[in-house]
Each structure stands twice: as structure tokens, then as C-alpha cells.
Amino acid sequence: MKKILMTLLASAAALAAGASLAQSQGVSKDEILVGSIQDLSGPLAAFGKAVRQGMLLRAEEVNEREAPELYGIVRRLSQRAGLPMPRVYTIPEEAPNAFATGRDPNHGAVAVTHGLVRLLDRNELAGVIAHELAHIKNRDTLVMTVAATLAGAIGMLASAYSRVNAMPKRSPRNLR
């Protein structure tokens, strides 16, 4: 929730800066509103997609009693890597896949599909999980979130700037 709030605040700040710049160049409030809606449509669509994907995946957190072999592999590898134990999830999906998330090692999570667990032997599964733990250790999710947020903010500012510069300059003389 904190990430979402920070992203929304950064987007609002970028929009406010763009609106202020546009207004100083004589752009009407209606044009600013339309531009702001256009700028927000991309991030809102991406957020909606992420929420839908999370709901569609139906990941279920498991403990050592429910998935002893999987949980044991994750525990052994995370200890070996010097990481805190991440949360472990399974996804009721037959396509073999694995995911890792978490802004830092203390908030890490690993998810594997049922298809991956069925398809791979213990050593292969350990290799996949080791790869996912490397994403957590290297803070890949945090890096990608920051990069995507910066790219989005730059895109919004560039869009607002291009709209302002595309508008004819207005002065009191040509308003007649």
C-alpha cells in the first residue's frame, strides 16, 4: 500500500508541475484536464493489470507442513545465501513457472506453479529457486519499480511539455 501511495504522490506531483507549466503558457484549464487524463491513463491501466494478474494467479501461501519438500529447499537455499526466509507460495497452474518479489530480502516471497513442481526433479527445482532467491538478494524488484516509476514520470513530463510547446503562444493581443 505504501508503494502505491508513493507512486500516486509522484504522479500527482508530476501532473501538478506539468499543469503549472501549461497554465503559465496560457493553456486553458480544459486542455490541461484532457492532457492530465491522457497522462494518467497509462499508469492506471498498468496498475489495474497488476491487480488483475495477482487475482488471476491465485497464489496460496504454504508452510512447511503443507509443502515440506518445497519449503525445505527454499529454507536451505536462503540460509546458504544469507537471506531471511522468504514467504513461499504455490500457484494452481500447470504451466511451469516461478516468480520472486519483495523490495528487499526482509520482504521477499517466492512462488512456484504446481506444474513446475511436478515437472522438475529436486535438483532442478532447487536451481530454479536459487535463481529466484538471487532476484530477492539483488533487490531486482525494487530496482525495476524505481526504474519504471522514473520512466513513467519522465514520460508524463515529456508529454506535458510537448503539448505545451505545440500550442500557439497566446498573448492579450491575439485573444481578440
Instruction: Confirm if 75 and 85 have CB atoms less than 8 A apart.
Output: yes
Dist CA 69 CA 117 (whole Å): 10
List, by residue number, the catalytic residues: 132
Task: Tell me if residue 60 falls in helix, strand or coil.
Answer: strand
Dist CA 66 CA 114 (whole Å): 13
- For 61-115, give the secondary structure using H, E and C: EECCCCCHHHHHHHHHHHHHHCCCCCEEEEECCCCCCEEEECCCHHHCEEEEEHH
Dist CA 13 CA 155 (whole Å): 13
* 122-137 helix and 140-166 helix, angle to the nearest 10 degrees: 50
